[in-house]
Amino acid sequence: MKKYKILISGGGTGGHIFPALSIANALKRRLNADILFVGADNRMEMERVPAAGYPIKGLPVVGFNRKNLLKNLAVLFRLRKSLAMARDIVDEFKPDIAIGVGGYCSGPTLKAAQKRGVPTLLQEQNSYAGVTNKLLAKKADAICVAYEGMDRFFPADKIILTGNPIRKDLLDHSLTPQEARRSFGLEENRPTVLVIGGSLGARTMNLSMEEGIHRLIDCGIQVIWQTGKAFAERAKSVAKGLKGVVVTPFISDMPAAYAAATVVASRAGAGSISELEVLGIPAVLVPSPNVAEDHQTKNALALANRGAAILIPDNEAQQKLADTLISLIGDPAKLNAMKQAISEMALPDADEKIVDEIIRIINHS
């Protein structure tokens, strides 16, 4: 039985790493394959990927500095070195296919693979395509996307609408909302808001909760507040003495947290949105303004325009987030309509659909 060699490159954030690992896990289930990751040195993939059981090689590549152009001389030097290292990795590993999930490192890796004639597949998580994937698209064999209308960025004949892979453990549980709330020490039948700002926390989300937490509790709403490490002690001080608030730097049991939630308040990263769609949870989204091409706002608009979420701009969140959550929870008809609308946008089994395409490309080539 032939053993396939598969190169996966990308990272920098959980939004790139989780899909990459989901694809790798699906490949392992279905193919006899050696899988090698390529990441950026000193970024989170260099820890997360080995922890998931896969080997990874690091490149010194970093992103361009948009504020200080002189610093880009060092960036260009690192890019040149990364291209040379990527060529060596491709020559040594001899992959049957290279998969790019976005992030700085996928550029040199996929470019090196394409120059060696290795088939490539891109996975674009966002509704607004990243620079790296746009540069690689012309020579890619297929581009798997999560939103309609991506022919604005990519050749239409290469696009496959698959959705974004989500973590399997989010679906592999049977917790009721009551059981999930109980697991956090909360009351079973009170409406519950889950506030998430990504693995590092998000300052705007935290400041908005700091400003509005007492109003939420006074209205009978429970809160699971994921703060990130930096804000944890301050949040615990704010919530001291309040009944029905769970403050935690990091949530280890996301299936239970989602199951407990009546509504989620979140940034608008592509991974989080895909999870909310598949799980059918109404959301209030506060897009981060500190991302390339303001892609989180575009992600959130894709939902808000279909009545699947409420969008609050970052600079309005401190004034509006708590009151918006209170108003939404007080309107069961609107909550149900949003639940229906966000569920209709779901594209489940994205990892399997992407692997279908990978196998097709390998067999064709």
CATH number at residue 233: 3.40.50.2000
Do 297 and 179 reside in the same domain of the chain? Answer: yes
Do residue 279 and residue 196 come from a single domain?
A: yes
Ranges under pLDDT 70 in the chain = 14, 64-71, 198-201
176 and 315 both lie in a single domain: yes
The whole-angstrom separation of Cα 225 and Cα 125 is 26
pLDDT of residue 198: 60
| 242 & 289 share domain | yes
One domain, residues 332 and 358: no
Judge if 173 and 118 occupy the same domain. Answer: no
Distance of CA 330 to the CA centre of its chain: 29
pLDDT at residue number 173: 84
- Residue-wise pLDDT for 41-68, tens only, equals 988 899 999 999 999 999 988 776 666 6
DSSP letter (8 states) at residue 2: P
- Give the three-state DSSP class for 38: strand
Full domain range(s) for residue 11? 4-164+348-364
pLDDT at 339 (0 to 100): 97
Phi, psi dihedrals of residue 167, rounded to the nearest 5°: -65, 130
Report the alpha-carbon distance of residue 253 to residue 245 in Å, rounded. 17
User: Are residue 174 and residue 319 in the same domain, yes or no?
Assistant: yes
Pair 8, 63 in one domain: yes
Locate 76 and state its tokens: 């260009």
The reply to whether 200 and 187 lie within a common domain is yes
Parallel, antiparallel, or unpaired: how do β-strands 159-161 and 142-145 relate?
parallel
Residues 126 and 267 in one domain: no
pLDDT, residue 169, reads 85
Q: Are residues 22 and 67 in the same domain?
A: yes
Question: Domains in the chain: how many in total?
Answer: 2
Q: Taking the model in full, what pTM does it have?
A: 0.88
